[in-house]
Structure 1
Amino acid sequence: KCGFSELYSWQRERKVKTEFCLHDGPPYANGDPHIGHALNKILKDIANRYHMMRGSKIHFVPGWDCHGLPIEIKVLSELGEKAQDLSPMEIRQKARSFAKAAIEKQKSAFIRWGIMADWNNCYYTFDGKYEAKQLRIFYQMYDKGLVYRSYKPVFWSPSSRTALAEAELEYNPEHSSRSVYVKFPLRTPPPKLASLLDSSAPVSVLVWTTQPWTVPANQALCYSPQSKYAVVKCSTSGDHYVVAADKVAALASTLDTTFEAVSTFSGADLEGGSCSHPLIPEKASPLLPATHVTMAKGTGLVHTAPAHGMEDYGVASQHSLPVDCLVDEAGVFTAAAGPELESKAVLEAGTETVIKMLQSVKSLLKEEKLVHSYPYDWRTKKPVIIRASKQWFVKIADIKPTAKEALKTVKFIPGAALNAMVDTLERRPYWCISRQRAWGVPIPVFHHRTRDECLITSQTVEHVAQLVEQHGSDVWWTLPPEQLLPQDVLSQVGGPDGLEYLPGQDILDIWFDSGTSWSCVLPGPDSRADLYLEGKDQLGGWFQSSLLTSVAARKKAPFKTVLVHGFTLGEKGEKMSKSLGNVIDPDVVINGGPDQSAEPPYGADVLRWWVAESNVFTEVTLGPSALNAAREDVSKLRNTLRFLLGNVAGFNPETDSVPVDGMYVIDQYMLHLLQGLASKVTDAYKQYDFGKVVRLLQAFYTRELSNFYFSIIKDRLYCEKEDDPKRRSCQTALAQILDVLVRAFAPILPHLAEEVFQHLPYGAEPRSVFRTGWISTSSIWKKPGLEEAVESACAMRDSFLGSIPGKNAAEYEVTIVIEPGLLFEIIEMLQAEETSSSSQLSELMMASQCTLLAQEPRQRPPDVTELGGTFLINLEGGDIREESAYKVLVMPATKEKCPRCWKYTAESADTLCPRCAEVVGGE
């Protein structure tokens, strides 16, 4: 009825000036929808619905990240043994259908949560059009020299057989390594120390490493030129060692011996020396200065294997050392490592064998177990190694300055997220974007059959991009190589028969896939999204890859505002995990579990209320008590709305409204409060602080409405004549309250908001709340002066009600005595005559009758209770200040209870009071 599903297309067709673009970060297409998805998608939807109601055209295209290793691994593990015989195309077909099934599951959940979008037009990273744009951006970056191919050490996962980027690692703090102390015999003494070392016995340089398997690949030993070093003599063996002066005592105790210092000297004096490789005696390892050598652990001298360390590689580049890698894709020693090591896994048998080899040549001084934080492949949960290989890299150093400049124009919520983003950027030395797998977008380069040469030009990439756009990236594997090259290039490189180049087998990192989504989804080539909104892990992930690719291609950030939310945790702040049994499935939250007494159905709006109410800028906890609390809140709100709807029945705002100045003071006061609520709620939405919206609404509908206003106005609503101006005044206020309230929570609870609009008793055909705009209030509602009138009367009301706990206020009569002055004049607005049972003052006090006097009465009945107080009036910003005393005299009512209104205002128990008699026409 409300056209919920056509809402997105309807708003796209409106003629409006402003557009609000929220670019959806793509969830990964490999599993069921989970509570993290709900948190993220619902936050986005609240923002979109608010901006749409404010009159903007929403640009929101949901997307999915569809390639990558986790999908490939899942598909292969389901196939078991058969997986090894699959061709890349077979893997790709199975991975595609797996991703498609996951997308359908997630999509139907997102729709059920009330997420507004055109679900028939989403973006998928495996669409040909999307992939073609990505290839063009890759070439743009290559052409600017920002993408290059190089042989250097990268994080390598033997379990996935591919290179990984830092974002794909997780650190295991409990990893255990076999660390060793190894001696390298001095071969050529450093010239400056020749005289010192000549006379004494043979000297060795002592090093420590946690990765013994890298020792065969050693090319150098590094020292810190600024530090002090010593030659020491070991009391047990008589051997002489070179170590850092600061480490002498610690090393002696580790090695269970004592050291006698023979001499000390500066690190710079080690220049020009070299050692013999302990396992390859004919090979020399030079002593070289390096900035990464620290005194924190080890011996102050560092074993350097350029193929297996980022800093080691830096030393190798500086000093032209070989970067020979003795380890293959499976993490196994190659033949180049020698017969003893060949085909042994470096982290297992390979480590054991290297340690034995060092023992047999008496180079091993000690082995000990070290538990430390070590990088693991986040998908297979197995340790990674560092190994040199030919990979494609993005030159982050060249993009960093522009990227940091671009971030200055971006608003981060919360603000601290900016520093986290910049820190992550600072720490990235380079971004490895090639992967050795099948399920992804191919890197569009051709490799020479015999020479180490690549073929990539704007012509070849454009040709491939056009093929991909029409048929998808499968063409890279299905078409013969000669068709992947344009005709004129083909003739230059050997023609179809003698083709010298073959298509490369690497694919692009999926962070490059998703990071280029801005180019496919943002409305124009130069546009920036108004908002990116994702979890905090994306500060090193999608926010980062989007920023780098956008800055590289067009020198600007793809976003104007970045909102970062926390993760969902269990009720006690513990991580949600299947093993703990505390994982909450959004589907069970909405529809209930198998045992509905244990897992009741809450519906989508309760889930949305929980999301809005959470402080999403920190971690967000969820469990039964949070959901029950959210359900309680929503049901209190529902009851408030039912009261409002019931009491505007028979009222037509067009014809029955009372002008503001003719309304009861308390009704005007409610409009005054309503205006304040509307502007605070609007501000909170503007700041994306939905938790504040919820708190403002809760306070208003529980405190101001249910506990205060509703309890006061029932008599006027139920007992006055249907069209009495007093009653119409109240209904005028209720209709405005209802309208403002529903619009204020509509972005959060869209289903409930539409339901209320279906039940409005006035207006023609029910209209969708989302098609009728944001809250509208009138400036004439704002009447700060009214606060004094109502608050002073409320102070007296509180004295009275406080004196009769648990009793019915209607059983009493009240006399209020105020000395002549400002307060008396204000209260007199609420009751013109001296005594009344139907004045605004008696309504507010809820007593059966009120008397207002400027001086104490001469006579008092014996059973009177006297209460006193003072009230400070503060008007016009403090220009008018006056403190007045008042007395409240409370006595039991003298008349009988009217059988119709239950006020004690009737002459006898079986007759109506004068007011009710008049309303029912004297019957």
Structure 2
Amino acid sequence: MLGAWRAAPGLRLRARFGAACGRPRSAASEADSRQPAEDSRQDSQYRDTVLLPHSRFPAQLPGRLQPDAELETQQILKDITNRFHMMRGYKVHYVPGWDCHGLPIELKALSEVKGAEKLSPVEIRQKAREFAERAIEKQKASFIRWGIMADWANCYRTFDPKYEANQLRIFHKMYDKGFIYQDYKPVFWSPSAKTALAEAELEYNEQHVSRSVYVKFPLLKSPPKLASVIDGSSPTSVLVWTTQPWTVPANQAVCYMPDSEYSVVKCATTGEHFILAADRVESTAAVLDTQFEVVSTCKGVDLADGSYAHPTIPGRVSPLLPANHVTMTKGTGLVHTAPAHGMEDYSVASHHQLPTDCLVDESGYFTEAAGPELKNKNVLEEGNEAVIRMLQAAGSLLKEEKYVHSYPYDWRAKKPMIIRASKQWFVNTANVKAAAQEALKKVKIIPGSAMSRMLEMLDRRTFWCISRQRCWGVPIPVFYQKDTGESLINSETITDVIKIVEQQGTDAWWTLPVEQLLSKGAVAKAGGRDVLDYVKGQDVLDIWFDSGTSWAHVLEGRPVTRNANAVTGECQIESFLVSENPWTLVVHGFTLGEKGEKMSKSIGNVVDPDVVINGGEDHTKDPPYGADVLRWWVAESNVFTEVLIGPVVLNAARDDINKLRNTLRFMLGNMAGFNPETDSIPPSEMYIVDQYMLHLLQNYGSKVTEAYKEYDYSKVVRLLQVFCSRNLSSFYFSIIKDRLYCEEEKDPKRRSCQTVLAEALDVVVRSFAPILPHLAEEVFQHLPYKKDSEGVFRTGWINASSGWKKPGIEEAIEGACAMRDSFLGSISGKNALEYEVIIVIEPGLLFELMEALQAEESSRVSQLNEIMMASQTTLVNEIPKETPADANIVRGNFLINLEGGDIREESSYKVIALPTAKAKCPRCRRYTSDSSSTPCPRCLKVIAGKGST
């Protein structure tokens, strides 16, 4: 019969009713309740004959001991991805590094210095470097403690001269190709930091409150197509709405949407006429607490060639212009346009050759050009108030109200930004967009959804501002003519600077005089006369340019292999534009507080990894979890989106690891006296359920490996938890305890399941080793059969034999499991060992499968009875005649699919549970003895030393 079962390689069985094999049921607790080690009534005379599990591996470590235990197992450690690839036999060289430049470090360093505003650029750079060096050493120690394996002796720092020189070489190459240019245009500007910022350095305050105003701009010249409607008998104005009144002095135009409808209305309150979008007439009238009478309606294009008077600057006449960025969702459908303070405004000005003068300085104050009433006033504070008063005095202000909306803030200073035109250096992303998008499509990006986000960002990004107005960074190697401000930069000037930086670092830009940085030959080549006619530029490169050029330093002298990887937080498109394309790009999210809030030191909700690992000053408030809990949390989280961390999450992670430890402890405890090299049983000689577990183990190993390859560590955790809790603990462990504890030590039946436990332990430990390196090493230290081992990370990846995969084997076990579920369900809450079970199956394939597990009609020691966990199992085709009339008969069906469904056979079965007449064996606690004072036949043989014969 077993041969017939083996001849069906494509066999697939599924129970139409009942649980899948391995579902947690009462079986585990029933098995536990009968075991000698767990039964206080066990006769002492037989206790020493039972092979109880024994291991010094603790089921769990108290929090205070976890960090110390991890330190004992630490040698060289590594992150999850690198550990996985290394265990698979790849050569992995992870060079860690630090982005050391940038505003955060500069501001933090200066906050520790009294009178910082008086420091020279060189002194500021020195303070920032010292701060960065201290932070690096602290972070390096933390990373090592967290279990990150890396080439810690050869880290890179972006302030190293060689790194800075390579960065300037990339700048040079991009400049030569025409990708980098200088221009005067509006950029995001941080008045608090006095520098331009990239979009990636912004965060949006959804509760920002602006002082929005409705303003009328008096019409001077009527649009020709509206001349018959606007006869001049009453004043007519274009009506605009803005949330930034301070930009009105810089107004150069009012824009309309050409294809939209506009209305000329008469105000019921004042009798004057206004022009605004037809869709905004009713809502605007309601805001102004008046009524509008529609005099005429026209298309936006009919507003062409009209002009108006500036509301605060006498004599300034500005045009009405078409623009596609005008929307009808709010405001009046007419947009106040200040070219120096808006990206779309600047585009309109460029197209129509309008002035783009900026009236705001680097600190966010109005300049002298704004006029005496505004000079030296902060545009976001008193300057805004002054403009509103000017509008009111001119009779142009119709309404002021508070407006709550999303507004960009400096992500470091947590203060509002402005858009301000200034002379900056840019990467022309428009020219490289198509090529970058094509290159991006060849990159493997995880998760796949990040691809569309990055392509979208590339599509809408026409330039990237790479200049910053600070001194802690890599300088942009440009010189300016003192009188004209004309820039001097070419291959010769950049090459000269690179040579100096490679020897002295970028401090030389601030310490050396211009004549040592700029050669006479370079000046003459550019048509200049004297080196002293030039000054050094004061801008530094954006820190994303720093990080984006790391490959040029780390991979210097090494070919970029197909296995090169990059891991980055969200979509840092700037870094991608500078770097060579990685073959795999993993995009992860950021960490949030347990309630989903952003972490902020000012709020006080920052979770310090060192406190998580080692505990805080008060262990009752901040207990020590150890590094593995932190690593488990990282792996378990869906890192492709924002992840949450806090006490609840960390406690759950610790509990998960403790459950895993119990599973590991059971396997370790049952390995005493077993050596896999000499005592293993070949799969062909194993119990079928043991072969089934190897089959599942091979499948588990394959799925885990694939999940690691896809960087899906949360899937790895899920696979691990399901396999350990359902397949091992709830199912396999519960049915093999009798074999492990009560068979003779070297009995092949016991060695069979020990072989499986050894293989399962090895596969499971290797599968989680990249995530829990300390636990993996701890397990290897407690293996009773491996001495002086090199450890889990030097002995390879999962070695699950393909020979373990046996199509059809799971059907035999799952069929038995379905019947076991029916049996257990019929005696719910009772001990299965107190019952005998009769299984009735019509002749056919299902019966043959069960015969493979039990050849004789009735048995107390068969493989089928082990799975059923009953006192005795009887397998028949018909219900025995002596079956009591009132016996509870449970019916079920099995649908059998062969060869992918080409052959289908539905089999029915009946399960009958009857109380056993046998007594409980005082040794094995199974109801298989003729007397409660005498061991069962099996136990008597073991006691007599005949169990293996």
Provide the C-alpha distance between the structure 1 equivalents of 2:271 and 2:848, rounded to a whole number of angstroms.
106
Secondary structure (helix, strand or coil) at the match of 2:112 reads helix
With structure 2 as the length reference, what TM-score do the two structures score? 0.84
2:165 matched to 1:141?
A: no
How far off its partner does 1:392 sit?
0.8
Residue of structure 2 aligned with 1:123, choices 133, 142, 156: 156
Matching residue of 1:752: 775
1:482–1:496 CA contact under 8 A, matched in 2:
no
Letter in 2 for 1:829: A
Cα–Cα, structure 1 residues 364 and 785, in superposed 2: closer, same or farther, change >3 Å?
closer
* Greater RCO (Cα-Cα under 8 Å, separation 6 or more): 2
Distance 1:748 1:253, change over 3 A: closer
* Alpha-carbon contact 2:837-2:911 (below 8 Å) kept: no
Name the CA shift for 1:336/1:845 in 2 (closer, same or farther; >3 Å): closer
The residue correspondences of 1:270-281 to structure 2 (distance < 5 A) are 270-281=303-314
Instruction: Note if contact 1:230-1:261 (Cα within 8 Å) is conserved in structure 2.
Output: yes
Q: TM-score, normalised by structure 1?
A: 0.87
Question: Following TM superposition, by how much is the alpha carbon of 1:45 offset from its aligned partner in structure 2, in angstroms?
Answer: 2.3
SS at match of 1:156: strand
Q: Which residue of 2 aligns with 1:476?
A: 509
1:872-893, Cα deviation, whole Å (9 max, x unpaired): 5555545373625445453324
Deviation of the 1:686 alpha carbon: 2.4
Matched to 1:72, the amino acid is: E
Distance in 2 (alpha carbons) for counterparts of 1:351 and 1:815: 89
Letter in 1 for 2:626: G
1:502 Cα shift? 1.5
CA distance in 1, matches of 2:197, 2:366: 20
Post-superposition shift, 1:653?
A: 1.9
SS across alignment from 2:450: helix
| CA pair 659-83 structure 1, distance change in 2 beyond 3 A | same
User: What SS does the aligned partner of 1:519 have?
Assistant: helix
Contact 2:515 2:531 in 1 (8 A): no
Structure 2 residue matching 1:369: 3-state secondary structure: strand
Instruction: Give 1:437-476 correspondences, 5 Å limit.
Output: 437-476=470-509
- Equivalent residue, structure 2, for 1:622: 645
Matched, 1:348 2:381: yes
Q: Which moved more, 1:763-772 or 1:429-438?
A: 763-772
Q: 1:179 aligns with which of 186, 201, 212?
A: 212
Return the alpha-carbon distance in structure 1 between the equivalents of residues 269 and 866 of structure 2.
Answer: 100
After superposition, the Cα gap between the structure-2 partners of 1:145 and 1:914, relative to the gap in structure 1 and judged at 3 Å, is: same
Query: Within the alignment, does 1:545 sit opposite 2:574 as a pair?
Result: yes
Cα 1:479–1:868 shift into 2, 3 Å: same
Q: Offset at 1:367? A: 3.3
Matches within 5 A, 1:185-264: 185-190=218-223, 200-201=233-234, 203-229=236-262, 231-259=264-292
- The answer on 1:83 being equivalent to 2:116 is yes
Deviation of 1:475 after TM superposition, in Å, equals 0.9
Distance 2:866 2:747 in 1: 16
Asked if 1 retains the 8 angstrom alpha-carbon contact of 2:96 and 2:150, the reply is yes
Match of 1:691 among 689, 711, 714: 714
Any idea what the Cα deviations from partners look like across 1:411-449, whole Å, max 9, x if unmatched?
A: 333322222222222332321111111111100001111
- The answer for the alignment partner of 1:508 in structure 2 is 541
Alignment of 1:490-889 (within 5 A): 499-522=532-555, 524=558, 530-536=564-570, 539=571, 542=572, 544-550=573-579, 558-577=581-600, 582-814=605-837, 816=839, 818=841, 821-853=844-876, 859=882, 871=894, 874-878=897-901, 879=903, 881=905, 883-888=907-912
Distance 1:721 1:503, change over 3 A: same
Q: 1:913 to 1:510 in 2, by over 3 A?
A: same
- Kindly provide the CA deviation profile for residues 158-178 of structure 1, in whole angstroms up to 9, marking residues without a partner as x: 211112222222222333333
| CA shift digits 1:804-840 (9 cap, x unpaired) | 4455444445555555554444333333445544333
Partner in structure 1 of residue 369 of structure 2: 336
**What does residue 914 of structure 2 align with?**
890
Query: How much does 1:899 deviate?
Result: 3.6
5 Å matches for 1:307-322? 307-322=340-355
Identity over aligned residues, as a percent? 68
TM-superposed CA distance for 1:121, in Å, is: 1.9
Q: Is the 8 A contact 2:523 2:530 kept in 1?
A: no
- Report if aligned partners of 1:799, 1:888 keep a CA contact under 8 Å in 2: no
Structure 2 residue 183 is the aligned partner of structure 1 residue 160? no
Aligned to 1:5: none
Q: Is the 8 A contact 1:522 1:528 kept in 2?
A: no
Over 3 Å counting, the alpha-carbon distance change for 1:856 and 1:108 in structure 2 is same
Structure 1 segment 348-387 matched on structure 2, within 5 A: 348-387=381-420
Q: More displaced, 587-596 or 456-465?
A: 587-596
Residues of 1 paired with 2:815 and 2:275: CA distance?
87
2:81 to 26, 41, 47: 47
SS of corresponding position for 2:583: strand
Give me the whole-angstrom Cα distance separating, in 1, the residues matched to 2:823 and 2:312: 96
Does structure 1 conserve the Cα–Cα contact (< 8 Å) formed by 2:520 and 2:531? no
Task: Output the CA distance in 2 between the equivalents of 1:518 and 1:821.
Answer: 65
Q: Which residue of 1 aligns with 2:50?
A: none
Change (3 A) 1:528 1:343: farther
Distance 1:862 1:221 in 2: 96
Give per-residue Cα distances to partners, 1:628-653, cap 9 Å, x unaligned: 33222212221221221222222222
| 1:593/1:599 contact within 8 Å kept | yes
| Residue identity in the other structure for 2:379 | V
Cα distance, 1:264 vs. partner? 5.3
Cα 1:150–1:899, aligned 2, differ >3 Å: closer, same or farther?
Answer: same
Distance 2:617 2:418 in 1: 46
2: CA distance, partners of 1:792 / 1:294: 66
Residue 697 of structure 1 aligns to which amino acid in structure 2? Answer: L
Match of 2:458 among 425, 442, 447: 425
Equivalent residues of 2:78, 2:149 under 8 A apart: no
- For residue 323 of structure 1, report the CA deviation from its aligned partner: 2.1
**Among residues 88, 93, 96, which one is paired with 2:126 in the alignment?**
93
* C-alpha displacement of 1:208: 3.5
Change (3 A) 1:883 1:457: same
Q: CA deviation at 1:567?
A: 3.3
Contact kept in structure 1, 2:213 and 2:401, CA below 8 Å: yes
Write the distance in 1 (CA, Å) between the matches of 2:424 and 2:459: 22
Residues 868 and 888, structure 1, Cα contact 8 Å, conserved in 2: no
Conservation of the 8 A alpha-carbon contact between 1:231 and 1:262? yes
**Following the alignment from structure 2 to structure 1, what is the Cα–Cα distance between the partners of residues 86 and 454?**
30
Q: 1:525 to 1:476 in 2, by over 3 A?
A: farther
- Residue deviations 1:58-114, cap 9 Å, x none? 24222222111122222223335x011000111111111112222222222221121
User: How big is each residue's C-alpha offset from its partner over 1:222-279, in whole Å with a ceiling of 9 and x where there is no partner?
Assistant: 3444445555554544545444555555444444445555655554454444333343
Moved more, 328-337 or 176-185: 176-185
Instruction: Flag structure 2 segments of 5+ consecutive residues without an equivalent.
Output: 1-76
Change (3 A) 1:305 1:864: closer
CA RMSD of aligned residues (A): 3.3
Give the SS at the match of 2:905: strand
Deviates more, 1:183-192 or 1:465-474: 183-192
Q: Residues 332 and 890 from structure 1, CA distance in 2 versus in 1: closer, same or farther, beyond 3 angstroms?
A: same
Secondary structure, counterpart of 1:672 in structure 2: helix
Distance 2:532 2:589 in 1: 53
Structure 1 residues 850 and 450, CA gap change in structure 2 (3 angstroms): same
Aligned length: 869
What amino acid is the match of 2:242?
T
| CA–CA separation in structure 1 for the residues paired with 2:836 and 2:449 | 59
Could you say if the C-alpha distance between residues 213 and 616 of structure 1 is closer, same or farther in structure 2, counting changes exceeding 3 Å? closer
Quickly say closer, same or farther: Cα 1:906–1:73, change in 2 above 3 A: same
Aligned 1:392-411 pairs, distance under 5 A: 392-411=425-444
Name the SS of the counterpart of 1:373 in structure 2: strand
The one-letter amino acid of 1:756's match is: V
Secondary structure, aligned partner of 1:79 = coil
